[in-house]
Structure 1
């Protein structure tokens, strides 16, 4: 059940809309159960017992993910927050408890600083700029750290990625300094097109890689951390200590496997189409797309209007015209009335042409 009347209204408005531009159509529990049941007769579910404490279908997902990322093994976690903590804590056992990360990184902004409060780790800010740090910045950083964490892409800075040369320079520096690299790759799946390399190439020099099962793949929940076999063996110890060794996890794991089959091959197309959508949105008066062009299939879209008015216009357009362009808006900066929404170009946006995006945005702005 939704928490507020506004959330309930948004749920109903997006469900009844005939066309959606950003994100996907929300589901009822009945619909989600029907989708899950529909996987029972597919190729993903061999006639075997359900998993118990991480065997069976869980190991199938772990092995498949490790192969996709070019790593020997992987461990499944019920949440990404737990996965991040376990990975960093495992590195702390062998290298030290100080983690170099961006101030906008997910553990700092969206995990209630659990790495510090629960895990006894300490973070060092790598740069104050709203982008990934450069190797030159880290080479002269005067505060020591033990593990280098890179969020690819850096979500709160606009889903930003470095270019390949910049990433290689960061790997080179970490190698010279003897520091392992942990990739916060919750959205790594869609990063390969911008970097111009395969996922195994992107991950080859990282000691550990965290990926989400639902942020881009559309699974119900869960995450994985991939790495060398000895690292993953130690990682599973911390998974147990943090309470992640669940009795059964097959529904979430099954949906993640379906995501690898269905969504992973589509992501390059989403990334390409995001550039078309972003360019059309940027034509609106006072609008700004960041980054331009987008690095992945997600980007920030800014308009010079109060968030409350933009939210109401979006709900009215969905209810009255059957068109849902955006999710929620917020005013994150110091300038009142300058609002931002995050746009996710996925399956529902695939049929939108640039002209259709422009026309729908004009209708949206007319409702302000």
Structure 2
């Protein structure tokens, strides 16, 4: 009989904690299976045939997502990386292979530059700063590009968003130049409150919009790209070529539909409470919150201590006090001498008052 694997310390301590501030409690395979089985009593009809190569429940999710984003249609993908490749490659077929993207954009930092290695695309940096580009910067670029990609929010710069006027100026410039806009909106779902517009308004002038099914929505996996019907028809060709036309995908799709019903309506509340949590954390000696206040329900939190010591303090606080404040810490970064963690305000965090956050943070720092 095989021995049961021992969970790592982070998994174990976060599971045993009575209270969590950032993120959600990790699940075992058994718990995840039980959560999926619980959806048999949900609003989605389960007596229809299982999907085959993208029909049935997959089309239900595609149409639902397209409606939420204000687009005619959408295509489901098993991974976000594949969705990004197909989206940009589809634009390359009609406009050209050069994409203007931020140096911190997800394809540049987290996808092993697949857009260049696999898809034959080339990127042009929009700006050298850790913020979204201004329209004037793009207009002044001395290297031509064919497609403008905007990551909303820009995760590696602190989940940053432009304001509405800045985004409108970028859309306007792209239209004047005759270049399509692709939104890397893996976390777009929670961006509407900061921009002060509905999701269809945010997406209206973008030719294609990528959204994640598991970031923010809590689905098991998957992503979608929404756009005009002809664009979606062509992107499905690239989905097939990249190996994304799977035989059956109903478990992940069902969890994504549940996320749209359960988590999407709660995101504005998470965004609002993130400001409360961030303000409470910012009072620690030497602390930095980026951005301040947060633009979404996620933000960066920096402390002037080595990451190893901060991680150890987090484990001890969960083990000894039943409180898990943060995920993992890492260094070095753009702020020398400081370590950073990403804070995600979800349902568990809504139970925390500012006073409770401050007190728990003081207990955390005392363990260093």
TM-score of the superposition, structure 1-length normalised? 0.98
Match of 1:123, SS state, is strand
Please report how far the alpha carbon of residue 338 of structure 1 lies from its aligned counterpart in structure 2 after TM superposition.
Answer: 1.1
Counterpart of 1:146?
Answer: 146
Q: Deviations over 1:240-288 (max 9, x none)?
A: 0000000000000000000000000000000000000000000000001
Counterpart of 1:223?
Answer: 223
Q: Does 1:12 align with 2:12?
A: yes
Q: Deviations over 1:75-115 (max 9, x none)?
A: 00000000000000000000000000000000000000000
Give the gaps of 5 or more residues in structure 2.
none
Counterpart of 1:157?
Answer: 157
Q: Does 1:300 align with 2:297?
A: no
C-alpha distance in 2 between matches for 1:267 and 1:334: 29
C-alpha distance in 1 between matches for 2:300 and 2:261: 28
Give the gaps of 5 or more residues in structure 1.
none
C-alpha distance in 2 between matches for 1:11 and 1:326: 12
Q: Does 1:282 align with 2:264?
A: no
Q: Relative to structure 1, is the Cα distance of residues 57 and 334 closer, same or farther in structure 2, using a 3 angstrom cutoff?
A: closer
Please report how far the alpha carbon of residue 332 of structure 1 lies from its aligned counterpart in structure 2 after TM superposition.
Answer: 3.1
C-alpha distance in 2 between matches for 1:334 and 1:177: 34
Counterpart of 2:85?
Answer: 85
C-alpha distance in 2 between matches for 1:327 and 1:150: 27
Please report how far the alpha carbon of residue 41 of structure 1 lies from its aligned counterpart in structure 2 after TM superposition.
Answer: 2.1
Q: Does 1:365 align with 2:365?
A: yes
Counterpart of 1:205?
Answer: 205
1:152–1:188 Cα contact (<8 Å) kept: yes
1:185–1:210 Cα contact (<8 Å) kept: yes
Please report how far the alpha carbon of residue 47 of structure 1 lies from its aligned counterpart in structure 2 after TM superposition.
Answer: 1.3
C-alpha distance in 1 between matches for 2:262 and 2:33: 18
Counterpart of 2:245?
Answer: 245
Q: Does 1:42 align with 2:17?
A: no
Counterpart of 2:341?
Answer: 341
CA RMSD of aligned residues (A): 1.1
C-alpha distance in 1 between matches for 2:282 and 2:223: 34
Match of 1:100, SS state, is strand
Counterpart of 2:317?
Answer: 317
Q: Deviations over 1:288-320 (max 9, x none)?
A: 100000000000000000000000000000011
Counterpart of 1:126?
Answer: 126
Match of 1:34, SS state, is helix
1:39–1:45 Cα contact (<8 Å) kept: no
Please report how far the alpha carbon of residue 336 of structure 1 lies from its aligned counterpart in structure 2 after TM superposition.
Answer: 5.3
Match of 2:245, SS state, is coil
Range that drifts further, 179-188 or 38-47: 38-47
Match of 2:278, SS state, is helix
Q: Relative to structure 1, is the Cα distance of residues 336 and 176 closer, same or farther in structure 2, using a 3 angstrom cutoff?
A: closer
